[in-house]
Amino acid sequence: MSLLLPSNLQQCPSSSLSPSPPLLSPSPSTAFSVVGTRRRCLRLVTSCVSSVQISVANGSAPAPVPGAVIVEREQIRLGLPSKGRMAADAIDLLKDCQLFVKQVNPRQYVAQIPQLPNTEVWFQRPKDIVRKLLSGDLDLGIVGLDTLSEYGQENEDLIIVHEALNFGDCHLSIAIPNYGIFENINSLKELAQMPQWNEQRPLRVATGFTYLGPKFMQENGIHHVTFSTADGALEAAPAMGIADAILDLVSSGTTLKENNLKEIEGGVVLESQGVLVASRRALTERKGALNTVHEILERLEAHLKADGQFTVVANMRGNSADEVAECVLNQLSMSGLQGPTISPVYCTEEGKAFVDYYAIVICVPKKALYASVKQLRAVGGSGVLVSPVTYIFDEDTPRWGQLLRNLKL
């Protein structure tokens, strides 16, 4: 198993590099020299694993990844997760925005978006997307906020363009056993005040988030904590006795319950979902990058604003448009909705046109749809038509203005 260590933890203690004393008599045998080498390697790996444990008491934390100089190229590079649910959700979202990712071969790591001819898609691991944004190898990326926060480490070159892509919802949380000494512990404060933890015996937390974890504990004034790195199946660590608690991503919480673990009050480190992130340097220095982001952002906002919205059209009798509008707006389920738009419906009688009733159009969220239709019918609405809204394009894209302000443009 390879360990990816933070930059300030990559140097192992020099003592671990010294040769181990032989357990048997020296022998010129090649086989024995290999064994000796393996023993020394094992000692080196053990030392490195020990070094990766981060103590909140000494305040050590991974150093930020330095930025890179922008390299000239014509294509704008967008990083997408290479596999898993996040990958599928990101591609589906772009498809819903009429941005179709064309991948000739599923094993290829480069794809195109015909609607953005100057843009390449690069499929990468989420953490590598963040790293390559910092190194200048990518210009844009879609990742979870948890990954961005852990590997970006608040680097000023990373700028969140859209913070709520409506997929990948989860939260980073501390979980402890619901038995033994933790049975009656239900909050972070109670956990910190347990008399068991001291400098000689700190609270042991297993996690893959070795930046966010120590940062969270420091911000909450909890000092007697040691973090050890681990990947996958963290839920087993407390039962195995190698950790007292875990810090991991939680979606439904089912896995925690099945492993006799529980979340605690005040133990949520971060709420996360998919975000669109960009390199500040790329947006200000790479030709075409800002225009590409503008188009992606407009499509995203138009689709996400329309998501879960329905257009409701109904005919209503009335003496005037104002009378019909007042009747509609007096219904509780329709207060605060977008609309109504009211148009006269003309009929003819004996060759003369006159207004017999009015057509009203309102935009209704899914959760209020049935109640709104019922109330429309109750006040005389008929011929009610319902259709989903695909896009809502505003006069201006709010996040575009915010991005320009962040870039000081």
Mean pLDDT along residues 190-212: 95
Q: Record the tokens describing residue 134, joined without a space.
A: 């910092």
Q: In the prediction, which pLDDT does 11 show?
A: 38
Backbone angles phi, psi at 18, to 5 degrees: -75, 145
Which of 251-255, 261-265, 349-353, 397-401 comes out lowest in average pLDDT?
349-353
CA angle 187, 153, 134 (to 5 degrees): 155
Q: In the prediction, which pLDDT does 54 show?
A: 46
Highest-confidence segment of 1-10, 347-356, 364-373: 364-373
Q: In the prediction, which pLDDT does 20 show?
A: 39
- Model confidence at 168: pLDDT above 80: yes
Q: In the prediction, which pLDDT does 319 show?
A: 83
Percent of the chain topping pLDDT 70: 80
The pTM (predicted TM-score) of the whole model is 0.78
Per-residue pLDDT reduced to its tens digit, 205-242: 999 999 999 999 999 999 899 999 876 789 999 999 99
CATH architecture of 170-270: 3-Layer(aba) Sandwich (3.40)
- Model confidence at 292: pLDDT above 90: yes
Residue with tokens 């979870």: 144
Closest CA to 176 of 261, 234, 258: 261
H/E stretch holding 147: helix 145-152
Q: In the prediction, which pLDDT does 243 show?
A: 95
Q: Hey, where are the domains in the chain?
A: 7-52, 76-168+274-306, 170-270, 309-388
* Average pLDDT score, the chain: 83
Instruction: Please compute, for residue 45, the number of CA atoms within 13 A of its CA located in the half-sphere on the CB side.
Output: 9
Mean pLDDT along residues 152-158: 96
Q: How far apart are CA 305 and CA 393, in angstroms?
A: 8
CB 364 within 8 A of CB 328: no
Closest CA to 232 of 257, 207, 261: 207
Q: How far apart are CA 223 and CA 250, in angstroms?
A: 24
Q: In the prediction, which pLDDT does 339 show?
A: 67
Q: In the prediction, which pLDDT does 334 show?
A: 65
Q: Which fold has domain 309-388?
A: Alpha-Beta Plaits (3.30.70)
Per-residue pLDDT reduced to its tens digit, 237-272: 999 999 999 999 999 999 999 999 999 999 999 999
Q: In the prediction, which pLDDT does 175 show?
A: 97
Q: In the prediction, which pLDDT does 372 show?
A: 85
Per-residue pLDDT reduced to its tens digit, 76-126: 999 999 999 999 999 999 999 999 999 888 888 999 999 999 999 999 999
Confidence of residue 328 (pLDDT cuts 50, 70, 90): confident
Mean pLDDT along residues 274-301: 96
Q: In the prediction, which pLDDT does 60 show?
A: 44
Percent of the chain topping pLDDT 90: 62
- Model confidence at 5: pLDDT above 60: no
- Model confidence at 338: pLDDT above 80: no
Mean pLDDT along residues 353-381: 86
Q: In the prediction, which pLDDT does 143 show?
A: 98
Q: In the prediction, which pLDDT does 333 show?
A: 64
Same-fold call for 76-168+274-306 versus 170-270 = yes
CB 221 within 8 A of CB 247: no
- CATH assignment of 76-168+274-306, among 3.30.70.1350, 3.30.479.30, 3.40.190.10, 3.90.400.10: 3.40.190.10
Looking at per-residue pLDDT, the higher value among 28 and 363 belongs to: 363
What does the radius of gyration of the chain's CA atoms come to, in whole angstroms? 29
Backbone angles phi, psi at 146, to 5 degrees: -60, -45
